[in-house]
Chain A
Amino acid sequence: MTVFLHFNRDRCKGCELCVSVCPKHILALDMASTNVKGYHPAGVTDPASCIACASCAKICPDSVISIEKE
């Protein structure tokens, strides 16, 4: 199974709720960049470890994350 996590970076407000609920601890804010709103956007550090549980996408208040798998 390959999981594709899509982040709509410019919608992210850097609240870190996705980071806090990820059971695999593979999400983090990208401290090296800022988005159009001026926040450090969330991203995935180890996509291969993703289990497609969708916890991050469910708790994201701003619908930043969408997930596909094949």
Chain B
Amino acid sequence: MTTVYRKSAGLQDRELHYCPGCSHGIVHKLVAECMEELGLVDTAILVCPVGCSVFAGNYFACDCIEAIHGRAPAVATAVKRTHPDQLVVTYQGDGDLASIGTAEIVHAAMRGEKFTTVFINNAIYGMTGGQMAPTTLLGQRATTAPMGRQKELHGSPIRMAELLSTMDGLAYAERVCVADIPHLNKAKKAIKKAFELQLAGAGFTFVEVLSACPTNWAMTPVEANKWLLENMAAYYPLGVIKEAQA
């Protein structure tokens, strides 16, 4: 009997609190699998955000630390500088990273801090009930934009991977999604590559994961992934955004 697939040892055996079909659970698995495959579960340090994934520290088997809202990059800066040989990762949503914590992520990238950020972009505020995020698409409805986001009123959505790629300190940025198996496989490769570049001391590494929020998008999980591929991937191009030459 050979094992084809089992839950990663990078995760604890706990039930996730996320809604049915939420991409958080899938990305948790990819991060945990990459840590396990690189033999880093015992030494990695994960900095958790505020938002739906505020309890990520309850699920990962590595050491975790909870940052205040948006400040995970500042916490990770200190952790990485004091533990330069260990893998340090922040896991942040779009409310945490692209709204309240924009200054912290921009300055961490500017300084070229040698940790990795996994950025979950689901184009909405999940935990607080579906309010408009900086990443909400034009025309997309939210509880605070019942007629849909309007460019004249709210501006256009922020592309964080491109914005951060203007910083010389950023070594690698890729945008991926987990809406189907081919994209999920690419997402895992991107996360693993970011971890490997971090361990090689390349600089700040950033993986943006376009994610589905079926509950607040008011869709079934299968519909949400289809909508993501048709709409989000059209505005937020998938692929490597920047890879600095060593």
Contacts and interface: CB of A to CB of B under 8 A. Distances in A.
Contacts of A62: 15-16, 18, 25
B184 A58 contact: yes
Contacts of B2: 68-70
Contacts, number: 81
Contacts of A59: 26, 178, 180-181, 184
Q: Which of B1, B19, B25, B28 has the most CB of A within 10 A?
A: B25
Interface string A51-70: 01011011111110111111
B166 interface: no
A3 interface: yes
A68 B1 contact: yes
A61 B28 CA distance: 8
Interface residues of B, number: 31
A11 interface: yes
Looking at chain B's contact residues, the main secondary structure is mixed
B121 interface: no
Interface in B1-19: 1-7, 11, 15-16, 18-19
B11 A63 contact: yes
A28 interface: no
B225 interface: yes
A60 B22 CA distance: 10
A14 interface: yes
B23 interface: yes
Contacts of B225: 17, 20
A30 interface: no
A58 B5 contact: yes
A31 to B, nearest CB: 15
A39 B142 CA distance: 27
B29 interface: yes
6 contacts: A15-B214, A17-B21, A20-B222, A61-B16, A62-B16, A63-B11
Interface of A: 3-4, 11, 13-17, 19-21, 39, 52, 54-55, 57-63, 65-70
